């Protein structure tokens, strides 16, 4: 499906190059909005233990300048699973 979309996009870009610049700017603006904040929930594996990847994700994104926080949530779909990881980008717009 993605291949079909990309084929269509490239064909359209080659036939109408003037449409490409506004489209890519609009796409970039949408990506900024979409990626302004990412939330990961739950932080537990199915057995109730903390995912072994959480610490690595926190370290990696923190070291790249992202604001990373583990925050409590008011719901619990899994016993002990009442926290989410928030990764907030440093997008300047």
Q: H/E element holding 88?
A: strand 83-88
Given a cut of 70, whether residue 58 has pLDDT beyond it is yes
CB 90 within 8 A of CB 64: no
Given a cut of 80, whether residue 53 has pLDDT beyond it is yes
Query: Domain spans of the chain?
Result: 1-34, 36-93
How many C-beta atoms surround the C-beta of residue 66 within 10 A? Answer: 17
Per residue in 15-30, pLDDT tens? 877 766 666 677 777 7
Q: H/E element holding 69?
A: strand 67-72
pTM (two decimals): 0.61
User: How high is the pLDDT of residue 15?
Assistant: 81
């Amino acid at each position: 499906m993605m291949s079909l979309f990309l084929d269509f996009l490239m064909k359209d870009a080659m036939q109408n190059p003037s449409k490409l610049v506004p489209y890519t700017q609009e796409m970039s603006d949408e990506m900024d909005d979409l990626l302004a904040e990412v939330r990961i929930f739950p932080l537990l594996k199915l057995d109730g233990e903390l995912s072994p990847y959480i610490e690595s994700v926190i370290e990696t994104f923190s070291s790249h300048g992202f604001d990373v926080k583990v925050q409590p949530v008011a719901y619990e779909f899994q016993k002990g699973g009442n926290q989410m990881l928030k990764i907030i980008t440093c997008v300047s717009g």
